[in-house]
Amino acid sequence: ETGVTQTPRHLVMGMTNKKSLKCEQHLGHNAMYWYKQSAKKPLELMFVYSLEERVENNSVPSRFSPECPNSSHLFLHLHTLQPEDSALYLCASSQDIRGSDEQYFGPGTRLTVT
Amino acid sequence: AQTVTQSQPEMSVQEAETVTLSCTYDTSENNYYLFWYKQPPSRQMILVIRQEAYKQQNATENRFSVNFQKAAKSFSLKISDSQLGDTAMYFCAFKSPDSNYQLIWGAGTKLIIKP
């Protein structure tokens, strides 16, 4: 596969469940990102990793926990979510976090919290 | 704080027409980057065009061009000879050293190209 892949594509979970979202990039990039996309709202940056080190944590609730085991993989661990966490979760990567580097996006995971 | 505003939630035009999507931003920075991304229905977000603030010349990519007005903090996207495949959500985004190189996004404009 090429580009940025995300699994699963759809996820329905109860508020007491624990699940993980996976992202993989095949582009040799050094930076990876998690975004939350809700209808009619700007994309919200959740986490940024550069060379496997977390760079930014934008006041995200602790029920979201990222993990970056290597430069190609990024996980988002979910536990005790709330219904308002239902959204499309996008993963992206770029060569570097600085400059005008393009971000390449995955197809997203559509999360529904019941 | 930097903000990006897209004042048109939805637009629709006939195929082959030209359409302009507006974007304004707020920053005190002098060096920054601006982007237009496209998200087709049920498909991945992709970059349409980018502009470095230090470049006076407007960026162009085939049928896509921008009108970058630095003093007015405006960055509109013009799509010429629109095609059905241009139907998508279009997002304007901004990035600068002051935003810690995070992309700051607008809320998007839904563009519908009608046959």
Which conformational region is residue A30 in: left (phi greater than 0), alpha (psi within -120 to 50 degrees), or beta?
alpha
CA distance A77 to A105: 19
Do A43 and B52 lie within an 8 Å CB cutoff?
Answer: no
Secondary structure class of B86 (helix, strand, coil)? helix
Of B44, B47, B107, the CB nearest to A42: B107
Over residues B64-87, mean pLDDT:
97
Percentage of chain B beyond pLDDT 90 is 83
Stronger pLDDT, A98 or B10, i.e. the higher one: B10
pLDDT digits (tens, 9 = 90+) for B22-60: 999 999 889 999 999 999 998 899 999 999 999 989 999
Do A40 and B107 lie within an 8 Å CB cutoff?
Answer: yes
Over residues A76-85, mean pLDDT:
95
CA dihedral B75→B76→B80→B84, nearest 10 degrees, is: 110
Nearest chain A alpha carbon to B33 = A100
The mean pLDDT of chain A is 92
CA distance A80 to A19: 10
Query: What pLDDT, on a 0 to 100 scale, did the predictor assign at position B64?
Result: 98
Tell which B residues from 6 to 65 touch A, by Cβ distance under 8 Å.
9, 33, 35, 43-47, 50, 52
| Residues in chain A within 8 Å Cβ distance of B105 | 42-43
Nearest chain A alpha carbon to B91 = A42
Quick check: A49 pLDDT over 90?
Answer: yes
